[in-house]
A and B are shown apart, each in its own frame.
Chain A
Amino acid sequence: MKFGNSEQEMIDRYVWDVIRRLPVSQRKDIEMELRSLIEDMAEEEQYDSIEDVLRKLGKPAELAGQYRGGKQYIIGPEYFEQYVFVLKIVVIVNLAFSLFGTMVKELSNMKQYDHIVDGIIKFCVDFFAHAIEESMISTFGAFGVITFIFAVIEYFKLDVDIVYELNIHVEPKDLKKRFRKDSKQNDNWEPSGLLPVPSPKTLIKRSDTIFEIVFVSILCWLFIVMPEFLGFFGKVNGKIKAVPVFNLDIWDEILPFLILAMAMSLIHSIVKLMMGRYGSVVSLSCILTNTISFVSTVIVFKMYPIWNSNFFEELEQVLGRTITSKGDIFYYIGTDSATNATFLVMFVIAMAEIAVTVYKGRLGESV
């Protein structure tokens, strides 16, 4: 059967539109097959025209899809869970950092204002504007990068199991089994590889972590915006006067260290929020962040005259009495004893947190 020119043209276009979507190696064969099929169908009485035949065969893209077999995904069901998991972590961490970063930046700009109210208004406006901008850009960026990475993983069907790898809640002997697992075939799934159900003791309460984040954020805010209020208050000549504990003259140099220490705590909170339960990752994060925090604090307390040198005079003014007795707690503020006491308290708290975290983490792993 011979087709007219316009019919032939239409068939050519249709066939091309199908095969161009297929691997080059299969094109020739499928083209021949399709052409003979279209001819066969065209001979049938039920089809009035070539258009009818092609309509019956359906959209070229769909037909090509059938030839490719199965559904086409950018990120298929095999990887989707991991994709969402990674996306959540990265987007949340990213958001936290861009918000935190913007906040720090804007707060440092706030000092230019003499009047605290002006400063706060300016801060709020700038913060929201820049926070939205920053977080939009970084979130979409992160989204794109992760999607791209997973698209590559999907395309090459790489053997990746991030969720499994991150939940390192497996006993050492199971660890060997994990490495032995056939990397090519995920079908070799073994029930023995299932992760233990976490005991309630090893779960991290979300509300606690969020409370920590809020607390640290407020503390951070205080340190940045109103360090002069970190101290004691009293009335002098009927006016409220604050006596800062810290040396505000070099506050700009001190602040970055203190913010670093607090940022570490924030990072640890985020890690806890993400993992949801104690384990190796949380333990590691706890040790690392606490160490950095502690070192950063030691540096700032040892290298800088951190305490307010006029503290006693100002305090005596406020209290309306002199501080001479060693039995007076105020006597020790700003001295080496205060520095050492601060270290001691920090150290004990950090060690306690690490001990509890590691203990609970091990508890989680030995279930």
Chain B
Amino acid sequence: MKELDEIMAALVLELRRGTLILSVLSQLKEPAYGYTLVQKLEEKGMSIEPGTLYPLLRRLEKQELLASEWETSTSKPRKYYRRTDFGNQVYEKLKDQWQRMTVDMEQLLREDD
């Protein structure tokens, strides 16, 4: 049984990994900083490790899907991320893809029943 658990954990991780970027993009229409994102996503059932999210945010910024700004007026400096215009376009397209994919997947899985 241990083997089943191990394989399942790895496969679920693999499945989640594909949805990560879309989940993150979906939450960044308005500026948010890293840790609120962790919390928000966790609340909605998409838990993500901070150690994964923070580097991911930087990568998306590098790809110009996100823009960031340091908020230093408060006692704690925080880096806020939000989608760029380009990020919005990509997000919309990606969302479309996802919706189509889920329909197709539903179909595939129903056939199997």
Instruction: Report whether A33 and B51 are in contact in the complex, using a CB–CB cutoff of 8 Å.
Output: no
B49 interfacial by beta-carbon distance below 8 Å: yes
For chain B, residues 33 to 71, give those with C-beta under 8 angstroms from any C-beta of chain A: 33-35, 49-52, 54-56, 58-59, 70
Q: Is B76 an interface residue (CB 8 A)?
A: yes
- Return the chain B residue nearest A67 by Cβ: B55
Q: Are B34 and A37 in contact (CB under 8 A)?
A: yes
- Nearest to A59 among chain B residues (CB) is B51
Tell me whether B35 and A40 are in contact (CB under 8 A): yes
Which residue in chain A gives the minimum CB-CB distance to B75? A1
Q: Which chain A residue shows the least CB distance to B59?
A: A69
Q: Which residues of B contact A63 (CB under 8 A)?
A: 51, 55
Which has the most chain A C-beta neighbours within 10 Å: B50, B59, B70?
B50
Interface size on A (CB < 8 Å)?
Answer: 19
Q: How far is the CA of A63 from the CA of B52 in the complex (A)?
A: 8
List the B residue with the shortest CB-CB distance to A58.
Answer: B51
Answer yes or no: B79 CB below 8 A from chain A CBs: yes
Cβ-neighbour of A37 out of B50, B58, B70 (below 8 A) = B50
Partner among A32, A41, A66 whose Cβ is within 8 Å of the Cβ of B70: A32
Which 4 pairs from chain A and chain B are nearest by CB?
A40-B35, A66-B55, A67-B55, A63-B51
Say whether B78 faces chain A, with CB atoms less than 8 Å apart: yes
- A69 contact set on B, CB distance < 8 A: 55, 59
Most chain B beta-carbon neighbours within 10 Å: one of A36, A57, A63:
A36
Interface status of B77 (Cβ within 8 A of chain A): yes
Question: Of residues 53 to 72 in A, which have CB atoms within 8 Å of B's CB atoms?
Answer: 56-58, 62-63, 66-67, 69
CB pair A33 B54 closer than 8 Å: yes
Contact A39 B55 (CB under 8 A): no
CB pair B59 A37 closer than 8 Å? no
* Shortest Cβ gap from B18 to chain A (Å): 16
Chain B residue with the shortest CB-CB distance to A63: B51
Instruction: State whether A37 touches B54 (Cβ < 8 A).
Output: yes
Taking a contact as CB atoms closer than 8 A, the residue among B49, B52, B56, B76 that contacts A36 in the complex is B76
Bound CA span A328–B53, Å? 93
Complex Cα distance, B35 from A41, in Å, reads 8
Instruction: Name the interface residues of A1-45: CB closer than 8 Å to any CB of B.
Output: 26, 29-30, 32-34, 36-37, 39-41
19 contacts between A and B (CB under 8 A): A30-B58, A32-B70, A33-B79, A34-B54, A36-B35, A36-B79, A37-B34, A37-B35, A37-B50, A56-B49, A56-B51, A57-B50, A58-B49, A58-B51, A63-B51, A66-B55, A66-B56, A67-B54, A69-B55
Chain A, Cβ-Cβ closest to B72: A32
Q: In the assembled complex, which residues on chain B have CB atoms less than 8 Å from the CB atom of A32?
A: 70, 77, 79
A33: B residues at CB distance < 8 A: 34, 54, 79
Output the least CB separation between A30 and chain B (Å).
Answer: 8
Q: How far is the CA of A251 from the CA of B52 in the complex (A)?
A: 74
Nearest Cβ on chain B to A159's Cβ, whole angstroms = 23
Residue contact B51 to A57, C-beta cutoff 8 Å: yes
A67 touches B58 (CB 8 A): yes
Given contacts A34-B54, A37-B35, A40-B34, 12 further A-B contacts (CB under 8 A): A29-B79, A30-B58, A32-B70, A32-B77, A36-B33, A37-B34, A39-B76, A40-B76, A41-B35, A63-B55, A66-B52, A67-B55
Tell me, rounded to whole Å, the shortest Cβ–Cβ distance linking A69 to chain B: 6
A65 to chain B, nearest CB (A): 9
Please encode chain B, from 10 to 44, with 1 for each CB lying within 8 Å of some chain A CB and 0 for all others.
00000000000000000000000111000000000
